[in-house]
């Protein structure tokens, strides 16, 4: 059974940093793309970043480019999202999602598997 589990969220002051993790298990193949999305209360889900299975290609939303960094671990079973220079408007539940595909898409409907989300709260 495919599972994605996010971790690393929490409360941080504006200007601070967090490192989010997405642990994947049960994937039928290592060839899959992983993306990060976020959703604040009363808003639509927002694309943040995506990375291919080998970690050689990435894509970022304009709103976070230069502040957030997506990466994969050496074993490819984990994907990380480094959040730097955090702002209050970054407060949201952050989700990772995966799909067996080679193209990096920004559309949430194209991702088959989702984690439960991890809360990021930025104060001040």
- DSSP string over 20-69: EEEEEE--S-S--EEEEEEE-TTS--EEEEEE-TTS--EEE-TTTBTTEE
pLDDT at 102 (0 to 100): 84
> What average pLDDT does the structure give for the chain?
93
DSSP 88: G
Query: At residue 16, what are phi and psi to the nearest 5 degrees?
Result: -85, -175
Greatest Cα-to-Cα distance within the chain, rounded to the nearest angstrom = 43
Among 15-19, 64-68, 74-78, the range with the most confident prediction by mean pLDDT is 15-19
Question: What is the model's pLDDT at position 118?
Answer: 98
Question: 15-61, pLDDT tens digit by residue?
Answer: 999 999 999 888 776 678 999 999 999 999 999 999 998 889 999 99
Is pLDDT above 90 for 10? yes
């Amino acid at each position: 059974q495919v599972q994605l589990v996010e971790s690393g969220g929490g409360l941080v002051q504006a200007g601070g940093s967090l490192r989010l993790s997405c642990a994947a298990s049960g994937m039928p193949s290592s060839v899959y793309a992983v993306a990060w999305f976020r959703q604040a209360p009363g808003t639509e889900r927002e694309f943040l970043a995506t990375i291919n299975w080998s970690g050689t290609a990435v894509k970022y939303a304009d709103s976070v480019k230069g502040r957030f960094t997506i990466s994969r671990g050496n074993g490819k079973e984990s994907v990380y999202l480094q959040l730097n220079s955090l702002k209050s408007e970054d407060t949201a539940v952050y989700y990772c999602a995966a799909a067996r595909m080679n193209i990096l898409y920004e559309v949430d409907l194209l991702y088959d598997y989702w984690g439960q989300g991890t809360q990021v709260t930025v104060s001040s």
